Chain A
């Protein structure tokens, strides 16, 4: 038996909508099998993962806190991936945004007025964009593989953060803990509804960014340029679009958004710099981008789903003693299944025998159609 792919005459509109949902269901099935193998009742495990974290209002706030950086980063990455540019170093750009954005509150803590927060956010974006400009420059100038350079810079950024928090920026009154001073109120991203929970303006930034990028991609020439250069660089060149400039544009846009996510997280949720400020948001955002079909509005929904896996990981750890790494497994499986289901958009799948090809389409997924 082997699989055979038959090209569809046109991409299937049905499956391009259904595929993320099929993938999510398959992830739940595979997850249940995994829980059963681990000796945990799958129903209670899935309940702890996907229902419990949504049962109270303050938990919805926590979901917004987790989803905000994922959406911000993924929206930027979707532009890169549409342009066929592979920025996988968003984690590093997130960290650089956090570091550069923290310059003011850490080195001039007495500087407290209405300007400090906007300046911090701006500097965070500049920091992320500048860090993303490095692989962009190397790609545009020397044709260096951006996948590897952007990823290597993640490790460099992590080490830089570790050094700066343990070394020059360590809080002198912090009992030698590796942390910076707490940010003043003026340097703290305000909460949206403090009565009911912790969610801050970061979530609003994420929604605004998603809508703006959606407008750009669907209504503006720039978005058209991204899509043309992504699907056919040659056609793009005939239209007068520059590949090199697009590399800079896509990298720096996604870097700026990742940087904004970084400083929002540091200023809003953590309130100081620590040796580690991200539970892998930059990598999880890659999954969010694909699950959201590289569409900014889809990404908002996908960001909420992936944010939920982080919360579910914590609640399953507390309730069932499951390792918090299970959340990462869920995230990885989800991406796998999304990519697999995306095949259905362009191809019909059928199983054929090794010797005699059968004619009837036998795939179970086929029947959904």
Chain B
């Protein structure tokens, strides 16, 4: 029983960064913008979070810095794609390349240093409850943020007027503009929200998951988060399910390596990436489902006419 709980806890820790980054990207894509820079914003959040945590000695300040850096970095993408109407795919790619370069440069001095770790929640009486106690009441703070974020985004998109507006922009920016909605302003907000989420996800990596700085420590999680949004057909709660499936695959292959299963570790390490491909194929096979849910203006630049 204890082992099951321990594995569940590690799965939650592995799933949380995927969930947060994917929820942020979901809002961005719902507004009709495709930001392929998730990996870059995430790694910037990771290095910023680690650095601020190390320099100030406070993991909480590290977390705030991670969010701020992610948001700032996404602003670059927003100015390029929204104000200058550049190609979103290419700009997102360049954001990722720039982020990987910048983080490597900033992090050179951080390699091998001990980091700060956010403390786990502890509520006397509740955390010590048998079986469910530790899973529900004894995890790191970002776990709870990730669940609240999912619920908040689901509520915002489907239960508020602003959420409806955002979705309408994603489906037809031309009509939204004709109705007098400020398309560009909504999209700026969405992209910056996505950047803050990706930064937070990166902060989780360097402040909770492995409290240290390793170059390229996001290891493709930003790209998997992008795939999760497609997998979830742009619905928040399905993102949560997908993130936990991927968290389980990620943890499963690590445990398989530890158990000494006679398969080369490199093959096991490639499982999360192969699983992403399989999942994408399964989802995209159903053309009607994807056509119905994909925001219709996704990836198209928008320039307001007079």
Contact = CB atoms under 8 A, between A and B. Distances in A.
Instruction: Answer yes or no: do A and B interact.
Output: yes
Interface of A: 2-3, 5, 7, 86, 88, 138, 142-145, 147-149, 151-153, 155-156, 159-160, 162-163, 166-167, 283, 286-287, 290, 323, 325-333, 335-336, 339-340, 342-343, 347, 349
Interface residues of B, number: 45
Contact of A340 (B84, B98, B220): B84
B80 interface: yes
A329 B274 contact: no
A347 B85 contact: yes
Nearest to B282: A142
Contacts of A339: 80, 86-87, 90-91, 94
Contact of A148 (B99, B230, B274): B230
B4 interface: no
Contacts of B270: 155-156, 159-160
A287 B303 contact: no
B287 interface: yes
Given A5-B303, A283-B97, A163 B83 contact: no
Contacts, number: 135
A98 B214 CA distance: 27
Contacts of B130: none
A280 to B, nearest CB: 9
Nearest to B40: A332
21 contacts: A142-B284, A142-B285, A143-B285, A149-B277, A152-B277, A155-B270, A156-B273, A159-B269, A159-B270, A160-B266, A167-B264, A286-B97, A325-B104, A326-B105, A328-B97, A329-B98, A329-B102, A330-B101, A335-B97, A336-B80, A336-B98
A116 B81 CA distance: 49
A332 B223 contact: no
A124 to B, nearest CB: 21
Contact of B36 (A147, A159, A287): A147
Given A167-B264, A325-B105, A155 B220 contact: yes
B74 to A, nearest CB: 13
Interface string B196-227: 00000000000000000000000110010011
A149 B108 contact: no
A40 B9 CA distance: 46
Judged by DSSP, the binding face of B is helix
B76 to A, nearest CB: 7
Interface of B: 36, 76, 80, 83-87, 89-91, 93-95, 97-102, 104-105, 108, 219-220, 223, 226-227, 230, 264, 266-267, 269-270, 273-274, 276-277, 280-281, 284-285, 287, 290, 303
A332 B284 contact: no
A163 B85 contact: no
Given A159-B269, A166-B266, A325-B104, 9 more contacts: A144-B284, A147-B36, A151-B223, A152-B223, A155-B270, A159-B266, A167-B264, A329-B101, A336-B95
B105 to A, nearest CB: 4
B101 A331 contact: yes
Given A152-B274, A343-B85, A163 B266 contact: yes
Nearest to B109: A323
A142 B281 contact: yes
Contacts of B98: 329, 332-333, 335-336
